[in-house]
Amino acid sequence: MKPLTFTLRERPDQRLDLSPLVPHGLAGKTAREIERIELQTTRHRITVGDVFRLRPGDAEQIRIQGACDRLDYVGREMNGGEILVEGDLGVQAGRLMAGGRLTVLGNAGPWAASGMKAGVFEIRGAAGGRLGGPLQGEITGIRGGLVIVRGSAGERAGDRMRRGTIIIEGEAGPCAGSRMIAGTLIVRRKAGPLPGFLLKRGTIVIGDSSSVLSPTFIDCGRYELVAMRWLAGMVEPHSKAAAGLLRRPLTRFAGDMAVLGKGEIFVGNRN
């Protein structure tokens, strides 16, 4: 069956809330009913039919064509099915995602995968700041699932991560993995200053040893651990680059000793 396709007519005048366009939200709806769904974030009313050309299809496979950074909350709370986005996205893509697969062929804005619980979220371009992080007032960020960023990510990727795995194949901005509680963050290349800032528990792996660590991380030596081999095997179907990094000898730094100190940063060689 063909996917249910939304093609953006033109760049919208206001930011749009696309959170209703998820497989479980559109299941059983007719094309007319879908076209009447409101997407505005201002007082000016905008429906799906106003901004998208709709091609009916299977609601379990949604395709958004011609997307731009004014489309916010795509895939919010999706719990199954698949969304493929051709273009860029705005803020909080995949927010509270609980299952299924969300793929963005372009870039994603800040707070992508915020509070994500399960599923797979792939960003082929770059991700904005606070990837997987919590919103203001929330205790934890990403709580499960797998996030893959083929490009680079902004500041504080994996902030307050509780569980799950984030793979960044490019570079990460400052304070990657800040305040992490658990989970795994893999940065294939370089991380900005102070990765693992106030890290309690959890694992950060950084490919480039030129990344500047806080002095509150303690060098524990260089190892080829079985756990990394196992993890390499698990992530290989999703990211060969990350798997290659995990199979190399890695230097383990324990920290952040400024807080609980039961986290770890593994660092590879200079790239």
Binding-site ranges for another protein (CB under 8 A): 144, 146, 163-165, 182, 184, 201, 203, 223, 225-227, 229-235, 262, 264
Listed residue (187, 155, 186) closest to 173, CA to CA: 155
Rank residues 234 and 257 by Cβ distance to another protein and give the closer one.
234
Listed residue (122, 186, 126, 128) closest to 154, CA to CA: 128
Rank residues 1 and 226 by Cβ distance to another protein and give the closer one.
226
Quote the Cα angle for 212-218-220, to 5°: 115
Question: How near is the Cβ of 164 to another protein at its closest, in Å?
Answer: 8
Question: How near is the Cβ of 111 to another protein at its closest, in Å?
Answer: 23
Look up residue 265 and give its two tokens.
């940063």
Question: How near is the Cβ of 147 to another protein at its closest, in Å?
Answer: 13
Rank residues 150 and 163 by Cβ distance to another protein and give the closer one.
163
Question: How near is the Cβ of 123 to another protein at its closest, in Å?
Answer: 19
Contacts of 207 (CB under 8 A, 6+ apart): 187, 188, 189, 190, 245, 268, 269, 271
Q: Sign (positive/negative) of CA torsion 210, 216, 222, 223?
A: negative
The amino acid at residue 107 is N
Rank residues 24 and 262 by Cβ distance to another protein and give the closer one.
262
